[in-house]
Chain A
Amino acid sequence: MSHSSDSARPSFSLGDIARDRLRIGSIDIQKLAPTRDERLFLVLSIFIGILSGLLVVAFRVAIEWIKVLLLGSAPHPGQYRLIFMPAGMGLVVAALVMWLFPGARGSGVNQTKAALYVYNGYISFKTVMGKFLTSALALGSGHSLGPEDPSLQIGAGVASVIARRLRMSRQRLRLFAPIGAAAGLAAAFNAPISAVLFVIEEVIGSWSAAVLGSIVLAAISSVVVARLFWGAEPMFHVPTVELRDPRELLAYAVLGVIGGFVAVIFATTLGYLRPRLRNLPRWTLICQPALAGLLVGAIGFFGFPQVMGVGYGVIDQAMHAEFTWQVLFALAFLKLLATTMSFSSGTPGGMFAPTLFIGAMLGAAVGTFEKLFFPHLAGSVGSYALVGMGVLFAGFLRVPLTSVFMVLEVSGNYSIILPVILSNTIAYLISRSLQPVPIFEVFSHQDGLHLPSMEEQRDEVHLHIEDALRPVDVPILNGSDTLAKASQTFASSGFDTLLVKMWDQNWYALTREELTGLEALQKPETTLEVAVRKDRIPELYPDLPLDSALPCFARWRVLPIQNRATHGTLEGILTERDVLDRYQER
């Protein structure tokens, strides 16, 4: 396992702690108050949302303060501090990460996911503090990274600390990390729906009804808090999009194609550089953020200070068509370079803002180009920038659902949905076909972790009962038939099992051995309804997962598969052999 994963792992057994905390003296809390966790869960979700919202607001303000203090109120090319500050702060941040806050390294998304799946939801308070401090210093000094992923980890950390203090059970403790993550991200983006979807798509990796309510509650609480400070206005103001001509969708499709390829380039570069830098001798780790800072600073010093820091202001400028298409392409390329260096060097900070930045620049470039050469077709440059953000989000982070809602939420503009869906889908498909493993999964594999993802689930082929179904070839009797008739049927058919349809349309599978036993104890004219045991075969339907049939074979040799519309009517039957054969065919 790599450095960060080692350092992030706590030095004591979390299982022991969890067990200890579930007891008061020798008494099990679960036994004493079995519904306590469930009730506290919802209350704490709100507290987590509020606290995460407050911390994220403080985090964002801290970044802005540090930026003004270190880079001045209006950084412009030619200022030497643009070079020195990121480099110097890179050294400070590297030292802090190396010796004080090892858990603060990286973006925060994978760390949160690891906390959920590997460390029972444990994120230390020290990691939260470290993430806050180091990310604020790095972003404030101009490193080309974003505040959203750290916000996500800060939220998850807050949730973890609170849940531990309240001695929640281990199962609950694990669920608190994604709740806090959603709260942190929602506050950072001012977008609760996107945050919830991202946590489901990227952190949890599956749709979990158990935690959905709490995630939504926490996300909304944190957004309410954030809006008390920032206001309810969307992050970016883009005019209403009107498709003047259906041919304009072609331009959006082109944007999707460009975004898809750029996403692949971005992901491939990061995936290539990050492990190579991390495998360099340990002493170089302290220099890498400084060198990355030097490069980013040099880009700023020699003409493009827009690349430095978070870059929301620049995104807004691009949306207001303040740059020519040549400058926009240059900014997209330089941001890609700067972010790759900053992130690969291990500087704490996220990938969301740079992704949005690059996407917005590409989108605005395509929009400006179109406006220049095909003015009768072009919509506003702002709408292209906005769609571009979604495109790279879908292609690079590989969260298609989140990408659509993120664009809608950050702009508060629902008229843009058609171009967004078109472009995002194209970018997503291109990226997925050229880079099968999503970037966060690549990072976790590089860290030695193999965590579940929704992308894996998308690739999985789920078998259903209908895939192993075969026609009804066993004899069928009614519950009103006698034991004698059943005996005759067995004798004439040669089958070991026959199905019995009871008066209430339920089914019973009678075996030859069972019939022999029944005949020894009861008269031949006894009806099967009376003679057989009282249990019945569970109702199974063709659309159910194939594995749902497996537990039934412990009791029944043959399973009748019923029609959902006509109760009691058979679609076919299933045996254990059929199921196993079907699985082995895959």
Chain B
Amino acid sequence: MLESIHPLTTEERAALRRLIFQDAVALISLVLIVITISGLTYLLFHSFKDHELELAHRWRRRGEVALAKGDPNVAIDALRSALAYQPNRTTEIELAEALAKAGRIHEAVAYFNTLRDSEPGSGIINLQLARLAARQNQQALAIHYYQTALDGTWEGDGYDRRRDVRLELSQYLISRHDFGRARTQLLIAAGNAPNEPAVLLKIAGMLEQCESPADALQIYRTLAKQREPSWQALAGAGRTAYQLGQFMLALQYLDRALYARAFSTQPATEQTAIRAMQSTTAQILALYPSTDLTIRERARRILHNVAIARTRFNSCEAPIAALATAAPTTPATPNSSPLLPPAIQANPLQQANQVSAKSLAARWAKVPKYPSLFRLEQNPQMEQTLMQLVYDTELDAATRCGPPQGNDALLYRIAQAPNAVEQR
């Protein structure tokens, strides 16, 4: 640093020594100053950082409390303040949720989209976007986000969260009357949760909502086989078996539900519904000519059913016959006959119904007015023919003459799936 080409004089050497000393002192002073300022800056910095953390925690707590209390606008301000002091993914998601709850959908969507840009596979972010899309009636987008959430990453209880998302997606599909896709999702969910009664119960209930009682019944029956089955499982099994026309099975479960201890704790409407269902099922089974019955009893029930159906046919036949007499070849026009039920008038199926009615009339004409019990006992083929005539009559009359009442209603239920009645 201090080299010189020419030899130095005494005065210059002294000056050089002074210069070296001064430079050394200056550099040492500089080092000391750096150390001192470092210490001061460190203290200042950390005092503020600690304060920042405290503020972030305080505002986050306030935001969460406000969110829980259903005050999203307060939560938004608080969570924004928390984020200003300490950026945090959980707080960001909470803020977006608060925005959504406050009805600031566009802001929430934009916020979640930005979060998704940085973490496209996040389950929770995609789920929130799915909910927002659902709120905005964007079905395709909602389903896309739900699906991405299902395939996405979840922290901690990923298994449970994915199942919940699947159930939420199913519920959304049910609300959109997309029962086919909802059923698929529910069956996957059921397959993934074989040992969770509460979840299975919920899935079965949702399967009922998406008009898939057979699948629901299967789950209910599985649950009902447990050592201490829940009342909901028994009632569900009874209800779905009843819907499917499996009355023998329905009666079993409905009886168990009725006599279960939990029955009395159920809401009154629920109790009444189960009682009514059990009573109807019992009446249906009292009419049904089961193969388990004695031949005589079976023949007696068939004759009873024939009498009921004949009455129903006759009461329903009169307006049809009148119509056929009045205009046998002319197609019916609207209001052409006040005797016909409004549903039938102007119905394109009217002619077909007339044809069906004529065919039924022909079949009834072949049936003796008072069939012999003895002959019936001897002729199983005749039993079948008569019961088929009963079922066809009830089904036909229900479409032509309005909903059946009393025993007709019971026979109508059997007629819908006669082979299911004794299925177990």
Contacts and interface: CB of A to CB of B under 8 A. Distances in A.
Given A24-B19, A54-B34, A166-B23, A35 B1 contact: yes
B107 A27 contact: no
Contacts of B84: 74, 313
Contact of A74 (B26, B41, B45, B78): B78
A411 B80 CA distance: 21
A380 B114 contact: yes
Given A62-B44, A162-B30, A381 B114 contact: yes
A242 to B, nearest CB: 9
Interface of A: 24-25, 27, 29, 31-36, 39-40, 43, 47, 50-51, 54-55, 57-58, 61-62, 64-65, 68, 73-74, 76, 162, 165-167, 229, 237, 239, 313, 316-317, 319-324, 368, 371-372, 380-382
B19 A29 contact: yes
Contact of B59 (A34, A50, A68, A74): A74
B349 interface: no
Contacts of A324: 106-107, 110
B392 to A, nearest CB: 57
A65 B85 CA distance: 12
Nearest to A162: B30
Contacts of B33: 51
A39 B38 contact: no
A55 B45 CA distance: 11
Given A165-B26, A322-B110, 16 more contacts: A25-B11, A31-B4, A32-B2, A33-B1, A34-B3, A54-B38, A73-B58, A74-B59, A74-B77, A229-B41, A237-B118, A316-B87, A321-B110, A322-B107, A323-B107, A372-B106
A321 B113 contact: yes
A162 B34 CA distance: 12
Tell me which of B26, B114, B118 has the highest count of chain A C-beta atoms within 10 A of its own C-beta.
Answer: B114
A239 B16 CA distance: 59
A64 B50 CA distance: 13
B292 interface: no
Given A33-B4, A39-B1, A50-B34, A239 B48 contact: no
Nearest to B76: A322
B1 A74 contact: no
Contacts of A229: 41, 45
B166 to A, nearest CB: 27
Interface string B19-37: 1001100110010011001
A506 B41 CA distance: 64
B115 A32 contact: no
A323 B87 CA distance: 17
Contacts of A74: 59, 77-78, 80-81, 84
In the A-B complex, list the 5 residue pairs whose CB atoms are closest, starting with the nearest.
A74-B81, A321-B110, A239-B117, A33-B2, A380-B117
Contact of B115 (A31, A51, A166, A320): A320
B111 A35 contact: no
A381 B11 contact: no
B1 A27 contact: no
A339 B97 CA distance: 34
A64 B51 CA distance: 11
Contacts of A54: 34, 37-38, 41
A32 B106 CA distance: 73
A313 B27 CA distance: 39
Contact of B12 (A27, A167, A317): A27
B23 A47 contact: no
Contact of B16 (A32, A62, A380): A32
A510 B3 CA distance: 45
B15 A24 contact: yes
A382 B1 contact: no
A58 B23 CA distance: 28
A306 to B, nearest CB: 10
20 contacts: A24-B19, A31-B4, A32-B8, A33-B3, A33-B16, A34-B3, A34-B4, A58-B40, A68-B55, A73-B55, A74-B77, A229-B41, A319-B114, A320-B111, A321-B113, A322-B99, A322-B110, A324-B107, A324-B110, A382-B114
Secondary structure class of chain B's binding surface, majority of residues: helix
B57 to A, nearest CB: 11
B18 interface: yes
Nearest to A27: B15
A358 B19 CA distance: 52
B273 to A, nearest CB: 48
A36 B83 CA distance: 51
A47 B31 CA distance: 8
Secondary structure class of chain A's binding surface, majority of residues: helix
Contacts of B12: 27, 32
A351 to B, nearest CB: 23
A61 B51 CA distance: 11
A36 B107 contact: no
B114 A320 contact: yes
B283 to A, nearest CB: 60
B234 to A, nearest CB: 50
Tell me which of A24, A229, A313, A316 has the highest count of chain B C-beta atoms within 10 A of its own C-beta.
Answer: A24
B241 to A, nearest CB: 49
A239 B116 CA distance: 9
Given A62-B44, A320-B115, A321-B111, A68 B15 contact: no
Contacts of B19: 24, 29, 32-33, 36
B114 A47 contact: no
A382 B115 CA distance: 10
B92 interface: yes
B48 to A, nearest CB: 5
A404 to B, nearest CB: 22
Nearest to B120: A239
A322 B83 CA distance: 12
A344 B241 CA distance: 83
B187 to A, nearest CB: 34
A555 B133 CA distance: 84
A65 B15 CA distance: 49
Given A33-B1, A40-B23, A47 B30 contact: yes
Contacts of A320: 92, 111, 114-115
Nearest to A39: B1
A319 B15 CA distance: 61
A320 B92 CA distance: 9
Nearest to B81: A74
Contacts of A321: 107, 110-111, 113-114
A368 B110 contact: yes
A51 B34 contact: yes
B385 to A, nearest CB: 66
A165 B27 CA distance: 10
Interface string B137-168: 00000000000000000000000000000000
B397 to A, nearest CB: 56
Interface string B85-111: 101000010010001000000110011
Given A40-B23, A64-B48, A372-B106, A51 B113 contact: no
A375 to B, nearest CB: 9
Given A29-B19, A54-B41, A61-B45, A322 B2 contact: no
Contacts of B106: 324, 372
A413 to B, nearest CB: 11
Nearest to A381: B114
Given A51-B33, A380-B117, A24 B26 contact: no
Nearest to B2: A33
Contacts of B80: 74, 317, 322
Contacts of B51: 68
